[in-house]
Amino acid sequence: MSDMYRAISDPIRRKILNMVAHQELPQLEIVKAFHISQPAVKKHLAILLEEKLLLERREGKYCYYRLNTPTFQRGYAELQQELGSILENKLSRLKQYLEEDS
């Protein structure tokens, strides 16, 4: 399972995921969308690739990126479940606390 927390913790990586969610994009277009250096964008892409949330296709000297939809969907579902469990636990504890005070 990819580390969704690591992958989505940075707003630049979230924007990259959003950009490639519906279409494959060359690295050059992704770099143009940010006001940071190409090596900095490449580091963000490397993290997303490492977490297997992006797929990379090389064509000559150009790299193209697209969302790895199945991995993203699994990670998102697991993240939702984990956060839902945390929220459920907090709400149960709040309910218990409020009932004790009554």
Asked whether residue 39 carries a pLDDT value surpassing 90, the answer given is yes
Rounded distance between C-alpha atoms, residue 18 and residue 57, angstroms: 18
Residue 19: the pLDDT is 97
Residue 69: the pLDDT is 93
Query: What share of the chain has pLDDT > 90, as a percent?
Result: 60
**The domain containing residue 76 runs over which residues?**
4-101
Look up the CATH number of the domain holding residue 32: 1.10.10.10
Read off the pLDDT of each residue in 14-30 and give the average, rounded to a whole number: 96
Are 25 and 62 in contact by the 8 Å Cβ rule? The answer is: no
| Band of pLDDT at residue 1, cut at 50, 70 and 90 | very low
Read off the pLDDT of each residue in 51-55 and give the average, rounded to a whole number: 95
Residue 98: the pLDDT is 83
For the sheet with 25-26, list strands across it.
25-26, 62-67, 54-59
Write down the pTM of the prediction.
0.78
The amino acid that residue 71 corresponds to is: T
Are 4 and 52 in contact by the 8 Å Cβ rule? The answer is: no
| Band of pLDDT at residue 2, cut at 50, 70 and 90 | low
Residue 90: the pLDDT is 84
Structural domains in the chain (count): 1
